């Protein structure tokens, strides 16, 4: 495993739409292992592949409910609304208020290519939505109100 450097806002890689994963191979596992090491070291709630310069639909989420590897994730249902503070490892030293669904239901593939169903609420749902936005080139600062330095 290796820690990868996190791309910062302003780099165009963060603004591209990512391609689906088609091969569940060792290259994917290496990426996932590196993303895990990186998000833990950076103490992030999640990390998306474009943040380490890889334009693939891969994200990890690191929350109280556990550690999740989401490959080709798609939100299939959402409910309610919550507004809260968000930050991002690619927008260092800032936070802002973002409205997100209170609950989301999503499909994704695990690292072995098995299709899975996920449910998340509260901060977990917020983290899933934030990371999925990255896969379409969207940053939380595009949606946030009251962005401030921390
Ligand atoms: Co982010």
For 65-99, what is each residue's pLDDT tens digit? 999 999 999 999 999 999 999 999 999 999 999 99
Task: Classify burial at 102, counting beta carbons within 10 Å of its beta carbon; exposed 0-12, middle 13-18, buried 19 or more.
Answer: middle
Task: Classify burial at 145, counting beta carbons within 10 Å of its beta carbon; exposed 0-12, middle 13-18, buried 19 or more.
Answer: exposed
Calpha distance 83→59 (Å, rounded): 22
Residue 113 Cα to ligand 1 middle (Å): 24
* Residue tagged 């983290």 (tokens): 127
Residue 16 Cα to ligand 1 middle (Å): 14
- 86 in active site: no
Residue 148 Cα to ligand 1 middle (Å): 16
Return the exposure string of 11-38: e unless at least 16 CB atoms fall within 10 Å of the residue's CB, then b.
Answer: eebbeeebeebeeeeeebeebbebbbeb
Domains of the chain: 12-149 (3.90.45.10)
pTM of the predicted protein model: 0.97
Catalytic residue among 22, 65, 69, 131: 131
pLDDT tens digits along 107-127: 999 999 999 999 999 999 999
Calpha distance 150→141 (Å, rounded): 14
Helices (H), 26-86: 26-41
Q: Which of 61, 51, 46 is nearest to 118 (CA)?
A: 61
| Cβ-based neighbours of 61, under 8 Å, separated by 6 or more | 45, 46, 67, 68, 70, 124, 127, 128, 131
Q: Which of 134, 150, 149 is nearest to 15 (CA)?
A: 134
Residue 21: both structure tokens together: 């994963």
**What pLDDT is recorded for position 1?**
78
Average pLDDT in the 58-64 region? Answer: 98
Residue 23 Cα to ligand 1 middle (Å): 25
């Amino acid at each position: 495993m290796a820690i990868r450097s996190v791309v910062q806002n302003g780099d165009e890689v963060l603004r591209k739409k990512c391609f689906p994963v088609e091969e569940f191979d060792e290259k994917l596992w290496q990426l996932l292992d590196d993303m895990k090491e990186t998000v833990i070291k950076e103490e992030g709630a999640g990390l998306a592949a474009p943040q380490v310069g890889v334009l693939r639909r891969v994200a990890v989420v690191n929350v109280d409910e556990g550690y999740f590897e989401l490959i080709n994730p798609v939100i299939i249902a959402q409910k309610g609304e919550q507004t809260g503070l968000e930050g991002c490892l690619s927008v260092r030293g800032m936070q802002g208020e973002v409205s997100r669904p209170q609950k989301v239901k999503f499909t994704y593939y695990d690292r072995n290519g098995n299709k899975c169903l996920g449910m998340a609420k509260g901060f977990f749902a917020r983290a899933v939505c934030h990371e999925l936005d990255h896969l379409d080139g969207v940053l939380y600062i595009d949606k946030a109100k009251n962005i401030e330095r921390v």
